[in-house]
Structure 1
């Protein structure tokens, strides 16, 4: 954007210039120089609004003129642009942005422009549960969509009226009713600005929630860094590990043309051990299976020097069970099990066949002989045990 002297410009011109920059920042990326000009313009607007005393704490939205409604958006736009500024100290940026957004919300509350539902939520903010927060976000999102739809409707209605006025002006001159049209335009403009302020309230409340979360995270990170004091040390360790890995790959690439091709390694764990120096490729059949370690430990080579590194190494672990043997070993074990199973089946078949040959097949004559032998045995038993011989002691003369 071109250079302009804001000190010599009027308040509406400065606000319009700042509003254009705010629209650019909302729609797409914006360079920091243009952003700085927008922040400077909005601060100048805020200073002039304060000096003119356009808003009072004992007024309502009906007491504010339509021409001054748009200046209510100055602290909101300023807070949004300050949040996008790039500075070394992010916490200061967040604090300045939150102060402007809170000032905008407090002015809207005094003018009764904040919904009653939102006021109730803010009153019990400390006791918010997840369900209440979800309900608050849903209600705010609905108001946001309703405000956008209303602004679009006002825009389309204004465009249709402008087209009809231009068509009427071409056919007949404007005579009576011009004042009524101006009144309609004034009411429509007021409705549009009130809807824009309602939409800005929703956006400001959402941005305030996000800035609070970011501020809490930055405080936690800062506190942790002050407790550990290992930022530079950790960076040196990471650089050293990176150099070690790069040197290993470079040496391996230099040795590759002069080495004999080796047998492929079928175990991923052993391959990791070879890369990190815990084993040699010649020990392919003698290696011990160790769990694969992802993250910092894989670069350290298993030599964890502190509890912090051990905890970091445990974070980046796969979510599945790692293999305990190679595909080659699993195939050999399955072959061994299959051979044992076949040997056992062959042994059982041999035993069954040999017993069948020994016994021989049964014929009808064998069945008759067995029946006659059973009958002879029954006759012999009856001869040895006559009927009633066991009851002699029970008879009176026995």
Structure 2
């Protein structure tokens, strides 16, 4: 391929990548997003046509025979698949057409990488099975972990090479993998213009790692597209739409035809002589539905318990239960204590109550005397001396 043609194709590819990376930050239903997708697809198709006419890739070549400058063009089919999948669709058949075109480009991308043996056998083995086809939950989880580690290792190596070549940016920090590819190609393009003695091996390794990363993403995209296509194929057909004129005039299919109001003010009789309802009515709660009305009234109320009695009623009830202590004050100061009252009652000579109180006082004194003998004064206050 001539040098001028190579620069032209590379410039078209970079422009397509820039438009494609911008679409991932925008909503696909917006007209501006669709314009960028159409522009990117147009440039990508020109690039694909130019690559095909120039014979950049040959089935007789190996990966060692392919020049470093031609490696980025292996990504054209992958970017085409991404853009086809983001095309706006108004119905199921149109969405199925977009997914089919996207899958066609993805398979072409995978065939090209398989032709040049870009992906190592270990990575092929990690993605040999689809996670959705594994029934065992434990095996499916282990498979997803293995695939995630494979992808993470590739991203880590890309980041390390970028730091070694003096590029800024973390591969994990981009919004999508397409933005990563665009930024990488733009950076390498600038490096090639500024430095002619660029290490070709490092640049080649960068491109190959990007191809392997896109290969991993292609496997995930194909799996998700297969699931979406299966849902679209099994989706029920849309209901046929009735003509607007027929909808306005034909009301025989309605389950709730218009009901006469029983008069211009809607206050006519409720039923006619044959028992036909003439106007809408509301059934009010009666004796039979009083319990239902009570429950209905308790639905919308405060979430805290409201008081069921006044403060005066509460105090009266507590006083009746004996929970309120009465007395105290100056009057209780002049009243004798329980010991003094017992002494006075025991001095009532010649009366049965006096004798009983005297015996009660004697037992109380005896009990106190026994307690003081067993527990000398100051026994409990040892001041921590044992």
Q: TM-score of the superposition, structure 1-length normalised?
A: 0.49
1:220-231 alignment runs, 5 A limit: 220-221=234-235, 224-225=236-237, 230=239
Paired residue for 1:112, among 113, 117, 126? Answer: 117
Paired residue for 2:151, among 125, 144, 148? Answer: 144
1:56, distance to aligned residue in structure 2 (A)? 2.4
Retained in 2: the 8 A contact 1:58–1:110? no
**CA, structure 1 residues 217+284, in 2 after alignment: closer, same or farther (shift >3 Å)?**
farther
1:49-128 alignment runs, 5 A limit: 49-88=51-90, 89-117=94-122, 119-120=124-125, 128=133
1:116-265 alignment runs, 5 A limit: 116-117=121-122, 119-120=124-125, 128-131=133-136, 133-159=140-166, 185-221=199-235, 224-225=236-237, 230=239, 232=241
**CA, structure 1 residues 15+126, in 2 after alignment: closer, same or farther (shift >3 Å)?**
closer
1:229-378 alignment runs, 5 A limit: 230=239, 232=241, 280-283=282-285, 285-287=287-289, 328=294
> Residue 159 of structure 1 aligns to a residue in which SS?
coil
- Encode CA deviations 1:289-330: one digit per residue, 9 max, x unaligned: xxxxxxxxxxxxxxxxxxxxxxxxxxxxxxxxxxxx859469
State the alpha-carbon separation in 2 of the partners of residues 97 and 74 from structure 1: 12
**CA, structure 1 residues 189+28, in 2 after alignment: closer, same or farther (shift >3 Å)?**
farther
1:60, distance to aligned residue in structure 2 (A)? 2.9
**CA, structure 1 residues 58+123, in 2 after alignment: closer, same or farther (shift >3 Å)?**
farther
Aligned residues: 233
State the alpha-carbon separation in 1 of the partners of residues 219 and 167 from structure 2: 34
1:24, distance to aligned residue in structure 2 (A)? 1.7
**31-40 or 148-157, which deviates more:** 148-157
State the alpha-carbon separation in 1 of the partners of residues 125 and 214 from structure 2: 19
Q: For residue 37 of structure 2, what is the aligned residue in structure 1?
A: 35
Q: Which runs of 5+ in 2 are unaligned?
A: 169-194, 259-264, 266-279, 298-386
**CA, structure 1 residues 91+127, in 2 after alignment: closer, same or farther (shift >3 Å)?**
closer
**CA, structure 1 residues 58+125, in 2 after alignment: closer, same or farther (shift >3 Å)?**
farther
**CA, structure 1 residues 19+280, in 2 after alignment: closer, same or farther (shift >3 Å)?**
same
State the alpha-carbon separation in 2 of the partners of residues 78 and 205 from structure 1: 15
State the alpha-carbon separation in 1 of the partners of residues 26 and 130 from structure 2: 33
Q: TM-score of the superposition, structure 2-length normalised?
A: 0.51
1:27, distance to aligned residue in structure 2 (A)? 4.3
Q: Which runs of 5+ in 1 are unaligned?
A: 1-6, 162-180, 248-254, 256-276, 289-324, 332-398
> Residue 62 of structure 1 aligns to a residue in which SS?
coil
Retained in 1: the 8 A contact 2:123–2:150? no
State the alpha-carbon separation in 2 of the partners of residues 78 and 129 from structure 1: 30
Retained in 2: the 8 A contact 1:82–1:96? yes
